[in-house]
Amino acid sequence: MARSSDTVTYNPEVHKETVKRMEARREEVHARGRRVYEETGKLDPLVDVMKAFRVARNSMVKSKDGYVLKNGIALPILSASDGTGSMADNLKRTFFAMNALETLLDPVRAMGYNTQLASAVAQDVQDRHPVAQESQYETDNRREEQIRLLVPDADGGDPTEDYQFLMAYVMLANQTDLSDFYGLKGYFFLMADQICRERLTREDFLERTGHTLQSATMTTKVIAQALQEKWHFYYLQVGSGGEGGRRNDITRWWEERSMKSRILIVPDPDYLAEAEAALIYVSENLQPKREDFVKFLVEGTKSNKRRTAKEAEMVWEWLIESGIPFGAQAKLRTVLGCELPKPGDVFEHFRHAWPKDHPKASTNAIPTDDAKAPSTTGRKPKPGTIDWAKLK
């Protein structure tokens, strides 16, 4: 069943108070995480991926009639950033833009989703701190606490990074009810400005994550393909390598590794929160129109005084120029062919996919490793359904 606060939603006033306290103490965003690492030699368990799993599960509350789905089915959203050099600042931007992003997600929640957000770091094996870090999926202000526990290295050096470690970790050790139960996909955004290494070995991956690859060696291309089985995986190319927002060799490198139409060039990193919200909006709407998108972005940021109509139109142009596919999630809902569970539905068991009296209720089954309520880090997910023979 859900943790006690899994049905609690995000409170923007709490975030404002957190920022005020940090400013009063002159506390940098990742100071807490660095302090933990310096004192223990390890990351905080909430962001340490070693032998850990991350889960985004439907949150139920016990009632006299069964189990009630309070806020809709779980929609996982993972915001990951390159933690090297100037890219490390994007995690700080993510922290300070939390209120803006949460407000922009209101229309998504109105569709019957319970948004569960997590943050992550992907960097280089040569860095002083772990190459892959990821927080838990949270519905409320615990997200702001956990992003402060991440430890980006913020150093430069070798331009080729090791994003493939985090990509493979998400592929293997992130379990989502959205995919396993309904065949829909979560959102995985990698904010970066470089390419990564071409392949990952089982030995290296085991050493740095405690998890085992299905083959002795796996290419980044295969990992990217596998991710797209269960995630709307996007590479947000920040600044386009300093070329003023144009496609370049980095863009083409990712395109050749199964990421064509999955790369959004974001010339200005201050727009990353809007870029993420924009990608979710155009994916969840079958045929989004320019005027509706502009209204969505302006209205969604009005309370934060962030974006004008002109700026919203600029973000729309980024989507068009990058060739982002519209309606990707909406089409999957159509293929599903039935109504998804909605807030207030009652279930026989807290790990059932379908509520009582639903046409698919007869297909309900309790996952074999979910007979008991999951812990924060989650027990080992059931084996995936990816056909590896199809991924070359």
How many angstroms separate the Cα of 199 from the Cα of each of 126, 167, 173, 196, 227?
16, 11, 18, 9, 15
User: Which residues are registered as beta bridge partners of 148?
Assistant: none
The C-alpha angle 349, 350, 356, rounded to 5 degrees, equals 50
Structure tokens at 242: 């300093």
Q: How does the average pLDDT of the chain come out, rounded? A: 90
The C-alpha angle 78, 251, 208, rounded to 5 degrees, equals 45
The C-alpha angle 32, 37, 41, rounded to 5 degrees, equals 165
Q: Which among 149, 123, 152, 125 is positioned nearest to 136, based on CA atoms? A: 149
pLDDT band at 390 (very low <50, low <70, confident <90, very high): very low
Predicted pLDDT of residue 159: 80
DSSP codes, 53-89: -EEE---EEEETTEEEE-S-EEEEEEEEEE-SGGGGH
Using the predicted structure, report yes or no on whether residue 373 has a pLDDT greater than 80: no
Using the predicted structure, report yes or no on whether residue 244 has a pLDDT greater than 80: no
Q: What element of type H or E holds 115?
A: strand 113-122
pLDDT band at 383 (very low <50, low <70, confident <90, very high): very low
pTM of the model: 0.92
**Better-scored residue on pLDDT, 156 or 379:** 156
pLDDT band at 227 (very low <50, low <70, confident <90, very high): very high
DSSP codes, 318-379: HHHHHTPPTTHHHHHHHHH-SPPP-TT-EESSTT-SS-TT-TTGGG----TT-SS---SS-P
Q: What is the pLDDT of residues 78-88, one digit of tens each?
A: 999 999 988 99
Q: What is the pLDDT of residues 109-128, one digit of tens each?
A: 999 999 999 999 999 999 89
The C-alpha angle 119, 121, 127, rounded to 5 degrees, equals 160
**Better-scored residue on pLDDT, 306 or 37:** 37
pLDDT band at 242 (very low <50, low <70, confident <90, very high): very low
Using the predicted structure, report yes or no on whether residue 142 has a pLDDT greater than 90: yes
Rounded to whole angstroms, how far apart are CA atoms 171 and 226? 7
Average pLDDT over residues 98-112: 94
Least confident of 29-43, 190-204, 349-363, 368-382: 368-382
pLDDT band at 304 (very low <50, low <70, confident <90, very high): low
Rounded to whole angstroms, how far apart are CA atoms 136 and 150? 11
3-state secondary structure of 184: coil
Predicted pLDDT of residue 147: 98
Least confident of 162-176, 233-247, 255-269, 320-334: 233-247
Predicted pLDDT of residue 7: 66
Using only C-alpha atoms, the chain has a radius of gyration, in whole angstroms, of 20
Provide long-range contacts, Cβ within 8 A and 24+ apart, for 218-225: 218/168, 219/257, 220/163, 220/164, 220/167, 220/196, 220/257, 221/256, 221/257, 221/258, 221/392, 222/388, 222/391, 222/392, 223/164, 223/167, 223/168, 223/171, 224/167, 224/257, 224/258, 224/259, 225/258, 225/391
User: Which residues are registered as beta bridge partners of 233?
Assistant: 188
